Chains A and B, each alone.
Chain A
Amino acid sequence: MGKPDIGVRNLLVKLLSYGILVFFVLLCLYFDYVTRGLFLSGSNIVNILQQTAINTIIAVGMTFVIISGGIDLSVGSILSLAGVLSTMSLLQVFSRMHQGPAVTAWPLVVAVLVAGMVSMAVGAAAGAFNGFCITRLRVTPFIATLAMMGSARGLSMVFTDAVPISPLPTAFTNVVGGPSILRAIPPLVPLAILVFVVGYVVLTQTDFGRRVYAIGGNQEAARLSGVNVAHTKLGVYTIAGLLAGLSGLMFAARVGAGDPKSGQMFEMDAIAAVVLGGTSLMGGTGSVAGTLLGSLVIGVLAVGLDITDVSTYWQMVIKGGVILLAVVLDQLKVRLGSVGL
Chain B
Amino acid sequence: MKKIAAVLAAVAVAATLSSCAKRATSTGPVVGVTLLTKAHPFYQQMEKAMKEEAAARNMTLRIQSAETQLGTQNSQVDGFITQKVAAIVICPVDSASIVGAIRRANDAKIPVFTADIAAKGGDVVCHIASDNVAGGRLAGEHMVKLLKGKGEIVVIDYPTVTSVQDRTKGFMEAVGKSQIKVVGRPNGDADRAKSMAAMDNMLQAHPGIKGVFAINDNTALGVLASLSHAKRTDIVVVGYDGDPEAREAILAGSPLKADAVQYPREIGKTTIEMVSRHLSGEKVPANKPVEVGIIDKESLEAEKKQ
- Separation in Å of the B205 CB from the closest CB of chain A? 4
Whether the pair B196, A255 counts as a contact (CB closer than 8 A) is yes
Per-position 1/0 for A39-58, Cβ under 8 A of B: 00101100100110000000
Q: Which of B193, B198, B225 contacts A306 (CB 8 A)?
A: B198
Q: 8 Å CB contacts to B: which residues of A240-278? A: 251, 254-257, 259, 261-262
- Separation in Å of the B151 CB from the closest CB of chain A? 18
Q: Does A207 contact B (CB under 8 A)?
A: no
How long is the Cα–Cα vector from A174 to B229 in the complex, in angstroms?
Answer: 7
Contact A173 B201, CB 8 Å, known A261-B191, A315-B187: no
Whether the pair A255, B192 counts as a contact (CB closer than 8 A) is yes
Contacts of A302 in B (CB 8 A): 197, 201
Contacts of B202 in A (CB 8 A): 306
Q: Does A235 contact B (CB under 8 A)?
A: no
How long is the Cα–Cα vector from A259 to B180 in the complex, in angstroms?
Answer: 34
Known A179-B229, A254-B193, A306-B184; further 9 A-B contacts with Cβ < 8 A: A43-B204, A164-B245, A173-B225, A255-B196, A307-B205, A309-B184, A309-B185, A312-B157, A313-B159
Contact A178 B191, CB 8 Å, known A47-B201, A51-B197: no
How long is the Cα–Cα vector from A302 to B186 in the complex, in angstroms?
Answer: 11
Contact A186 B229, CB 8 Å, known A255-B196, A309-B184, A312-B187: yes
Whether the pair A38, B221 counts as a contact (CB closer than 8 A) is no
Contact A255 B201, CB 8 Å, known A261-B191, A312-B159, A312-B187: no
Q: Does B200 contact A (CB under 8 A)?
A: yes
Q: Does A177 contact B (CB under 8 A)?
A: yes
How long is the Cα–Cα vector from A20 to B248 in the complex, in angstroms?
Answer: 46
Contacts of A312 in B (CB 8 A): 157, 159-160, 186-187
Chain B interface mostly: helix
Closest to A306 in B: B201
How long is the Cα–Cα vector from A254 to B200 in the complex, in angstroms?
Answer: 12
Q: Does B228 contact A (CB under 8 A)?
A: yes
Q: Does A166 contact B (CB under 8 A)?
A: yes
- Separation in Å of the B235 CB from the closest CB of chain A? 16
Q: Which of A38, A174, A255, A315 contacts B193 (CB 8 A)?
A: A255
Q: Does B92 contact A (CB under 8 A)?
A: no
Q: Report 23 cross-chain contacts, Cβ distance below 8 Å, ordered by A residue.
A: A38-B205, A164-B245, A173-B225, A174-B228, A178-B229, A179-B230, A186-B229, A255-B192, A255-B193, A255-B196, A256-B192, A256-B225, A257-B221, A262-B192, A262-B193, A302-B197, A303-B204, A306-B202, A307-B201, A307-B204, A309-B186, A312-B186, A315-B187
Q: Which of A47, A174, A309 contacts B204 (CB 8 A)?
A: A47
Interface residues on B, range: 20 to 34
How long is the Cα–Cα vector from A38 to B205 in the complex, in angstroms?
Answer: 7
Closest to A252 in B: B193
Contacts of A262 in B (CB 8 A): 192-193
Q: 8 Å CB contacts to B: which residues of A311-341? A: 312-313, 315
- Separation in Å of the A173 CB from the closest CB of chain B? 7
Which residues of B line the A interface, CB within 8 A?
157, 159-160, 184-187, 191-193, 196-198, 200-202, 204-205, 221-222, 224-225, 228-230, 245, 248
Q: Does A35 contact B (CB under 8 A)?
A: yes
Q: Which of B157, B200, B245 contacts A47 (CB 8 A)?
A: B200
Shortest 5 CB-CB distances between A and B: which pairs?
A306-B201, A312-B187, A307-B205, A256-B225, A178-B229
Contacts of A255 in B (CB 8 A): 192-193, 196, 222, 225
How long is the Cα–Cα vector from A313 to B202 in the complex, in angstroms?
Answer: 18
Q: Which of B187, B196, B230, B245 contacts A254 (CB 8 A)?
A: B196
Contact A259 B192, CB 8 Å, known A35-B205, A309-B184: yes
Contacts of A309 in B (CB 8 A): 184-186, 205
Contacts of A308 in B (CB 8 A): 205
How long is the Cα–Cα vector from A174 to B205 in the complex, in angstroms?
Answer: 23
Whether the pair B193, A166 counts as a contact (CB closer than 8 A) is no
Q: 8 Å CB contacts to B: which residues of A6-52? A: 35, 38, 41, 43-44, 47, 50-51
Whether the pair B204, A173 counts as a contact (CB closer than 8 A) is no
How long is the Cα–Cα vector from A254 to B160 in the complex, in angstroms?
Answer: 26
Contacts of B225 in A (CB 8 A): 173, 177, 254-256
* Interface core residue of B200, B204, B205 (most chain A CB under 10 Å): B204
Q: Which of B185, B187, B228 contacts A178 (CB 8 A)?
A: B228
How long is the Cα–Cα vector from A34 to B156 in the complex, in angstroms?
Answer: 22
- Separation in Å of the A131 CB from the closest CB of chain B? 28
Closest to B192 in A: A255
Closest to B159 in A: A312
How long is the Cα–Cα vector from A167 to B185 in the complex, in angstroms?
Answer: 28
How long is the Cα–Cα vector from A259 to B193 in the complex, in angstroms?
Answer: 10
- Separation in Å of the B212 CB from the closest CB of chain A? 14
- Separation in Å of the A153 CB from the closest CB of chain B? 15
Closest to B197 in A: A51
Closest to A259 in B: B192
How long is the Cα–Cα vector from A41 to B222 in the complex, in angstroms?
Answer: 24
Contacts of B230 in A (CB 8 A): 179
Whether the pair B205, A166 counts as a contact (CB closer than 8 A) is no
Whether the pair B245, A166 counts as a contact (CB closer than 8 A) is yes
- Separation in Å of the B37 CB from the closest CB of chain A? 12
* Interface core residue of A41, A259, A312 (most chain B CB under 10 Å): A312
Contacts of A261 in B (CB 8 A): 191
Whether the pair A177, B197 counts as a contact (CB closer than 8 A) is no
How long is the Cα–Cα vector from A148 to B191 in the complex, in angstroms?
Answer: 23
